Amino acid sequence: MLAAAIQLSAVPGDVAANLRACERLADEAGRAGARVIALPEFFATGVGFLDSIAESALPTDGPATDLLTRVAARYDALVGGSFLCRDTDGHVRNAYLLADSTGIVGRHDKDLPTMWENALYIGGRDDGVLTAGDLRVGAAVCWELMRAQTVRRLRGRVDLVMAGSGWWSVPLWRPRPLFEYLERCNAATARRAAASFSQYVGAPVVHAGHAGELECPMPWMPARYHGHFEASTLITAADGTVLAERPREDGEGVVLAEIAPGGAAPVLETPDRFWLHPRGALPAAAWHYQRWHGRRWYRRHTKARG
């Protein structure tokens, strides 16, 4: 089965432009014969601590869902990706929707928002195992690829993992040599999280990512964030072999590889800890303080929008 992972350079908050880019890239994948097409996390809006993104959440039956179902029907393919979805209860979730030629066949809500993402949405509780015909598809979104609890819910239960990320870089503040080192570690972790996940669950992984630059405010700080997305757009076999990959420097594009869906014996044991990979001191600190800030920001702004 030919699979495709989309690498997107999103325009923050510009839903129409991002959906056009996604359809163009998905069409490229479909014309090449792909029957599995993965879009990245936040494919409709991009991601950053920006009002324009927080205000761009879409309804479940809105244009992002229409895009997934339209492309799936056009190419008789499995098409999936996550976007900020405003549900009928008024809350926003990071919803990974999977479509085939019949329409939407499953949904997974990312379990824990990452850092400033807490200002944008709340987490979910489902197991992320979606059924599409005879295929059991596991959905994993960005830092879910970093957590042992994701392995526990998917290990031995899926034939294929469809994943997407919007993983941003460490800003190059001073002292510059220190932050350059921290960014090298961050980039390596982003790739390792995507490339090794199949070894934990025993299934191929099709991982879509974002490329490009990002500038936005920093929560509770006078400095602004300037950085880039790590991409790590790649496709792996069930044993962790990287079959195809696109570096972030190449920008938008499509990664294609033949995969063999089906459960295999996992190569790696599930570790008895929360994180699969070390985060580093700076991401760990940002995880906590931005979570506290983000939850307050979300409550205040969600109420104001209601």
- Please write down the long-range contacts of 245-252, taking CB distance under 8 Å and 24 or more positions apart: 246/5, 246/7, 248/7, 248/209, 248/211, 249/211, 250/7, 250/211, 251/7, 251/9, 251/211, 251/212, 252/7, 252/8, 252/9, 252/21, 252/25, 252/211
Q: Summarize pLDDT for 3-61 with one digit per residue, the tens.
A: 999 999 999 999 999 999 999 999 999 999 999 999 999 999 999 999 999 999 999 99
Range of the domain at 253: 2-305
pLDDT of residue 304: 72
**What pLDDT score was predicted for residue 224?**
96
Return the pLDDT at 306.
62
- Provide the whole-model pTM: 0.98
CATH code at 274? 3.60.110.10
Q: How many helices (H) and strands (E) does the chain have?
A: 6, 15
Compute the distance between CA of residue 304 and CA of residue 62 in angstroms, rounded to an integer: 22
Q: Is the predicted pLDDT of residue 303 greater than 70, yes or no?
A: no
Across 216-227, b (16+ Cβ under 10 Å) vs e yields bebbeeeeebeb
* Total count of domains within the chain: 1
Instruction: Give one DSSP letter per residue of 222-245, joined into a string.
Output: SSEEEEEB---EEEE-TTS-EEEE
